[in-house]
Structure 1
Amino acid sequence: MTTAAPETVAATVRAMRRAGAAGEPVPADEVAAWARTFMVQLYGPQKPVRIECRPLYSVEPWIKAEDADVVHARRRKLDIRALYLHPKADKPGKSHRFKNDVCQDCGDGHFYAGPNCEPPAPTPDSRTALPFDPSWFREPLEALQRFASIKIISLSDASKWKRETAYLLERLDQYDKETLA
């Protein structure tokens, strides 16, 4: 079942899953190729910044490891770990403006705000989409606006319908200018 060594981490994981699904033993050289691929692709030429050690199966704090500790880790019964640098975080595109521990722009709290201030997109006005001929509504809207003006209905309903009809008539005029111009 020896195959060519996969070159990417994804291909290696796929090969490992296939081998696991087959349920057969995997040759040691193939496992070594998988490990080599993981090390090269995940760590590449990056050198560890610090190598630490502690006794096996202990909860003691990690201490800096000497070269001899790494070379003779099994004999000295040491657990070894290598710490690598991570890429530096990008500078935020827009900083938060906190007031009373809440960002004034995005509304995130101080403790759970990310590095970038990303205000939510404004909610689109559902009334702006006109998927039909708007001229159909001009006459009924004008009649409704007249009724609201002469107060046949209650004052609160009249003001609401005046606002709505004024907005819709304004949008119709704008639509007519855009389409007829």
Structure 2
Amino acid sequence: MADPLNVASCLRAMRRAGAAGEPVPADMAAMWAKVCIEELYGMQKPVRYECRRRGSNDPWEEAEPGDVTHPRRRNLVIRALYLHPPVGKQQHRWPPGSNGDGRCLDCDETEWLAGPECRPHAPLRDHRSAMPFRITWLIEPLEKLLYLTKYLNPFDRAKWRKETTYLIDRIRDHEKGSQP
């Protein structure tokens, strides 16, 4: 088996080994883990370590090397701080011709009240789309409509009875056809 050089080839080799159902040598599993950790997370070194007494709410102080190597012995909580690249700031987009009284096209903030960077709102999600729906749920209201056609004049009654019976039959045929 060739050595995987990236996460995709590593995962591909893992899937093949799992599908084969044979045991995998420990050095191969260790190599997969090393590749995944290094490629996904990288070898980050903390910029600074901070510590404080376990269970206290005192402010964090810069940790000494001995604090980092023996935190339990000294009853300390240690945290590592990493340097991350700054997030790029998004500029506001004002409508053309607004003289200080327009609203941003992305975040809808007024121009005279807006901060230095634009923070667009997350789009609202229509929760009805996440709900399950079965077409057979329409049969009951259609049958009720079929029953209520007796209160209509003869021409409308014939039209609506024909429409509803057609729809009910089509839904039932569809349900029969989609059954495994």
TM-score of the aligned structures, taking structure 2 as reference length = 0.36
Structure of higher CA gyration radius: 1
TM-score of the aligned structures, taking structure 1 as reference length = 0.36
